[in-house]
Amino acid sequence: MWWITAAVLAIAIVAQTTLMQHVRVRDTEPSLVLVAVVWYALRADLRWAAIYGLAAGLLEDILATGTGAAWTISTTLVAIVASVASRGFFADSIPIVVALTFGATLLRQLLFWMVMAFEGYPGGLGWLHFHEAIVKGVLDVLVMVVVMLVARRFDDRYA
């Protein structure tokens, strides 16, 4: 069923680049791509999670200008961390997935800005990026909860 996960990623990328700019809170928008990557990484083994994260990050870098490989590196590493972290719990637990999504958002933003700094992006805006990451984490958590509740609605185990 690889085509389903590819379709989810394609929909997330298209929605991220076209629609999410209209859903901004404090000049920050949720990342549907990160939610898709974390959702997949929770259920996949390490290798497939890394491949999915690599593909998602690469697509983001292709569509974004001037990021170099920042999204590719940060999204791949977050997919790996989420996949490894999910080995100790059930992927259906909303509180644990919420905590993991928030942590993944913070980690992804940290890695992104570290890579951007290595690529020559000027520093000095750490607190601004940190506050943005917190707001983005809350928004990503809200999107993940909606995704989980919708998935439960269509899952036979909860019917």
Q: Is residue 159's pLDDT more than 60?
A: no
Query: Does the pLDDT value for residue 104 go beyond 90?
Result: yes
In angstroms, the CA 84 to CA 61 distance is: 24
Q: What 8-state DSSP symbol labels residue 68? A: T
CB-based contact 112:2 (threshold 8 Å): no
Count of the separate structural domains present in the chain? 1
Q: How far is CA 111 from CA 23, 90, 114, 130, 142, in A?
A: 24, 26, 5, 12, 22
At 25, is the pLDDT very low, low, confident or very high (cuts 50, 70, 90)? Answer: confident
The CATH code of the domain that includes 105 is: 1.10.1760.20
What number is the average pLDDT over the span 12-25? 84
Q: Which of 38, 2, 14 is nearest to 143 (CA)?
A: 38
Nearest to 114 by CA among 64, 73, 54: 73
Beta-bridge partners for 28: 25
Rounded Cα–Cα distance for residues 79 and 61 (Å): 16
- CB of 30 closer than 8 Å to CB of 53: no
Q: What is the pLDDT of residue 73?
A: 93
Backbone φ and ψ of 28, nearest 5°: -135, 140
Statement: residue 138 has pLDDT above 70 = yes
**What percent of the chain lies above the pLDDT cut of 70?**
94
Q: What is the pLDDT of residues 26-62, one digit of tens each?
A: 888 889 999 999 999 988 889 999 999 999 999 998 9
The confidence band for 1, taking pLDDT boundaries of 50, 70 and 90, is: low
Tell me the C-alpha distance between 132 and 114, whole Å. Answer: 15
Asked whether 137 and 98 are in contact (CB, 8 A), the reply is: no
Read off the pLDDT of residues 73-98 as tens digits, 9 standing for 90 and up: 999 999 999 999 888 777 778 888 99
> Where would I find the H helices in the chain?
2-18, 32-43, 46-63, 70-85, 94-118, 126-154
Domain that holds residue 44: 2-158
